Amino acid sequence: MRKLILPLALAFFVASCGDANHEEKSQEEATEQEAHTEHETETEEVTYPYVAGAEFDASKAVGPAELLAQLESFDGDTLYTTLSTNINECCKAKGCWMTLDMGESDQEMMVRFKDYEFFVPLNADGHETVVSGKVFRDTISVDELKHYAEDAGADADSIAQITEPKVKLAFEASGVLVK
């Protein structure tokens, strides 16, 4: 009988630890889901103008044509600037990226937010925005392009047509104002 008690006690202990770990993971998942739901709720109820990230002087913003002209004569890798333009599209999952109208029919700029610390409202498409941060040329991988297309709600056929990386203007915003 004693030979059975020790293995049974060990089995009970291991099983109870597994349940606690499972319970802990379930609580973490529930907390993450609540945070995501809270973010969605906050985003839906946002009022404009919307400001996030580091403070900056929006009056120093340049337009797309001026920024493109500056980049033509710029020899460095990264240009720190403040840009004023319209939002073409933003992430529909979290608002964690947006594309900006650069004034030329085929050119837009991808904006991500510094250290993933803030987002834009999910309904920010078409709004005027001012972003402050750094602009640079970025090679966007096929996987990233497909991910962005999924976030934007593209259909499976459009996503399947993405087969090559693209070099595009990119912007890492430290602050954003959506009007």
Domain of 106, CATH number, reads 2.40.50
Give the pair of three-digit tokens for residue 16. Answer: 């109870």
Asked if residue 72 and residue 25 are part of one domain, the reply reads no
Asked if residue 74 and residue 121 are part of one domain, the reply reads yes
**What local confidence, expressed as pLDDT, does residue 63 receive?**
96
**What local confidence, expressed as pLDDT, does residue 44 receive?**
59
Residue 93: what are its φ and ψ, rounded to 5°?
A: -90, -50
C-alpha to C-alpha distance for 97 and 173, rounded to whole angstroms: 10
Asked if residue 70 and residue 39 are part of one domain, the reply reads no
Give the pair of three-digit tokens for residue 44. Answer: 């839906």
Residue 97: what are its φ and ψ, rounded to 5°?
A: -155, 165
C-alpha to C-alpha distance for 87 and 4, rounded to whole angstroms: 69
Asked if residue 120 and residue 147 are part of one domain, the reply reads yes
Instruction: Provide the strand spans (E) within 54-178.
Output: 79-90, 97-101, 108-113, 128-140, 166-178
Asked if residue 132 and residue 85 are part of one domain, the reply reads yes
**What local confidence, expressed as pLDDT, does residue 116 receive?**
94
pTM: 0.68
For residue 114, the 8-state DSSP code is: G
Domain boundary among 15, 30, 45: 45
Give the pair of three-digit tokens for residue 5. Answer: 């008690």
Give the pair of three-digit tokens for residue 98. Answer: 């947006």
**What local confidence, expressed as pLDDT, does residue 2 receive?**
53
Give the domain extent around 94: 50-178
Give how many domains the chain has, as a whole number: 2
For residue 141, the 8-state DSSP code is: P
Asked if residue 150 and residue 87 are part of one domain, the reply reads yes
Asked if residue 97 and residue 62 are part of one domain, the reply reads yes
SS3 per-residue string spanning 26-62: HHHHHHHHHHHHHHHHHHHCCCCCEEEECCCCHHHCE
Asked if residue 62 and residue 17 are part of one domain, the reply reads no
**What local confidence, expressed as pLDDT, does residue 24 receive?**
47
Instruction: Give bridge partners of residue 137 from the DSSP assignment.
Output: 169
Asked if residue 67 and residue 31 are part of one domain, the reply reads no
Asked if residue 55 and residue 105 are part of one domain, the reply reads yes
pLDDT string in tens for the chain (179-residue length) = 555 555 544 454 444 454 444 444 445 554 444 444 444 434 457 899 999 999 999 999 999 999 999 998 888 889 999 999 999 999 999 999 999 999 875 688 999 999 999 999 999 999 999 999 999 988 989 999 999 898 888 999 999 999 999 888 899 999 999 99
3-class DSSP state of 78: coil
Domain boundary among 10, 28, 45: 45
Q: Are the beta carbons of 52 and 64 closer than 8 angstroms?
A: no
Asked if residue 14 and residue 78 are part of one domain, the reply reads no
Pairing of strands 79-90, 128-140: antiparallel
Asked if residue 36 and residue 70 are part of one domain, the reply reads no
